[in-house]
Each structure stands twice: as C-alpha cells, then as structure tokens.
Structure 1
C-alpha cells in the first residue's frame, strides 16, 4: 500500500516538466521572431534609403525640393518614411525610417542613411 501512495503522489510530474520545456521553446521562438523582424525592418530601411538617394540624385539638377519629393515617393513605395533629405552639391543624402512591431506592445523604428551622386574620377 505504501508503494501505491508514493506512485500516486508523483502523478503528473512529467506533464508539468513537459509544459515548462514547451513554454521555454515558445518564449525562445517569440524572441527569435522579434529579433528577425527588427533585422528585416533595418534591411527594408536601408534598401529604401538607397533607392530614395538614387532617385534624389537623379533629380539633383532640378533643385532640392523636386529631388526630395522624388526621394519621398520612392521611400514610401518601399514601405518607409523619409526622415531627412538634403542635397550636397550633386550628391543626395537621404535618411529613412521603418516602424516595426515585433511583439504586441513593443514598437521600434529602424533607420538608415544613404548617399548617392555622380561618380568622381
């Protein structure tokens, strides 16, 4: 009878351990997904900045307002927001931002800057 009580007291212990290990995997998975979402947002911001800087540099001779309007349109088409734009001679310097929410309640902004202009010898 003592053996029966001992076994009966341990019933469900493996279930609790299995649930704890499962919860650990879920937490690690959510953390990994959040890190990857932030990395993808940073890459999107960099691509948008590169293309926006090229668009602005192509319009550099028409003036800063037209060049930055072109950069803004390209940045928005790439899912980013134009954070800054200026002409430095014929070079365009552009900054973009991409907002990411990797997990509910946690919002971050990924930023990138790019410069484009004519080739110099």
Structure 2
C-alpha cells in the first residue's frame, strides 16, 4: 500500500513538473516574440537577438527565429526533469507582429 502511494506521489510530481515547464516555455515564447517584434523594423539580426535575450531571461533557449517583414516567429525549448534520471524538452512557438500589412501606418498618415 505504501509503495503505491509513493508511486502515485512521484507520478503527480512528474505531471506537475511537466505542466510547469509547459507554462514556462509558452510564456518565454510569447514574451520573446513580442520583444523581437519591437525590433523587427531593424532587421532579422536585431529582432532575433532581442527575442533570444527575453527567452533566456525566462528560462528558455531559442531554437529558431524567422522574420518576415514586421512579423517574427520564434521557437523555444525548456528542459524538463520531472524525476531523477528522466529528462525531456518542452517546446513552444510564438508569432508577433501587426495583424496585417494594412494595419501598419506611417506617422502622420491616414
């Protein structure tokens, strides 16, 4: 009986750890994409560097970044270690930028 309770406790801890990692990676992707979008007008290098800094500040590692016009799409990952000897990776992608090219207006424009 005691062994079953310990096993259930470990399973619960593993599920909890995976859920926390999933939330962490989603937040890092969203915040990284938003930060990168602020620099998208400066080019892919500046936008991706900014996105990577914000992703890292949120405990994730950026694995991919593409900039197309004023839109940025990034993919990040977070290592998950739910139990000793067990490891995995949680991944998420996020996009940020204007809703459409028509949404971008120049200062003083219509």
1:23, distance to aligned residue in structure 2 (A): 1.1
Choose which of 15, 24, 29 in structure 1 pairs with 2:4.
24
Between Structure 1 and Structure 2, the one with more helix by share is 1
Runs of 4+ off more than 6 Å: none
Higher alpha-carbon Rg: 1
Partner of 2:89: 109
Two-structure CA RMSD over aligned residues (Å): 0.9
TM-score by length of 1: 0.80
1:21-100 alignment, distance < 5 Å? 21-100=1-80
Distance 2:95 2:14 in 1: 29
What secondary structure does 2:59 align onto? coil
Structure 2 unaligned residues grouped into runs of 5+: 104-110
Aligned length: 101
Distance 1:90 1:36 in 2: 37
1:119, distance to aligned residue in structure 2 (A): 3.1
